[in-house]
Amino acid sequence: MRINQLITNDAVLAELGARVAVWRLERGLTQEQLAARAGIGRATLQRLEAGGSVQLTSVVKLLRAFGMLDALDVALPEGVGSMIAELERVEHQRPRQRAPRQHRARATGGGSWQWGDGSWKWADGDADATPGSL
């Protein structure tokens, strides 16, 4: 059964319990073994597999025991604000690079120009830039 917005909370719990049982059996573990590995009581695991409600810490411990704790990042990704903060942190670690001096002067309009025969050119003699191209 697919878990989606249309099924009830009880149906979600029943499906999650069934999936935990399948994962446990595929790994050849008894309820006692999995409960011990996860650090939860066997009764808690039985209740979960039967579709009952358990504490969130028990689910986290089971995910850790299955090696699937990172699946929580897929289910509940970080908010946009924390992603932006991380990008800003990384950006501040990396020194910014400047354009080479020749290009920087032209990009900022810092080059000198001269009037002459009607053609416009940079003081360094580069005539391929025209007043209209800036």
- pLDDT tens for residues 21-72? 999 999 999 999 999 999 999 999 999 999 999 999 999 999 999 999 998 8
Domain membership of residue 87 (yes or no) is no
Per the structure, the count of domains in the chain is 1
Query: Within a domain: residue 113?
Result: no
Q: Residue 29 falls within a domain, yes or no?
A: yes
Assess contact for 31 and 42: CB atoms under 8 A.
yes
Q: Rounded to 5 degrees, what angle do the CA atoms 58, 63, 67 make?
A: 145
Q: Give the confidence band of 111 by pLDDT, cuts at 50, 70, 90.
A: low
78-100 per-position pLDDT tens digit: 776 666 777 777 777 666 667 77
**Tokens 């990396």 map to which residue?**
94
- The residues near 44 (Cβ < 8 Å, ≥ 6 apart) are 35, 54, 55, 58
Q: Please check whether residue 59 lies inside any domain of the structure.
A: yes
Instruction: Show the DSSP H helices in 1-134 as ranges.
Output: 9-26, 31-38, 42-49, 56-66, 71-75, 80-93, 101-107
CATH number of the domain bearing residue 27: 1.10.260.40
Q: Is the CB of residue 5 less than 8 Å from the CB of residue 12?
A: no
Domain of residue 62 covers 9-75
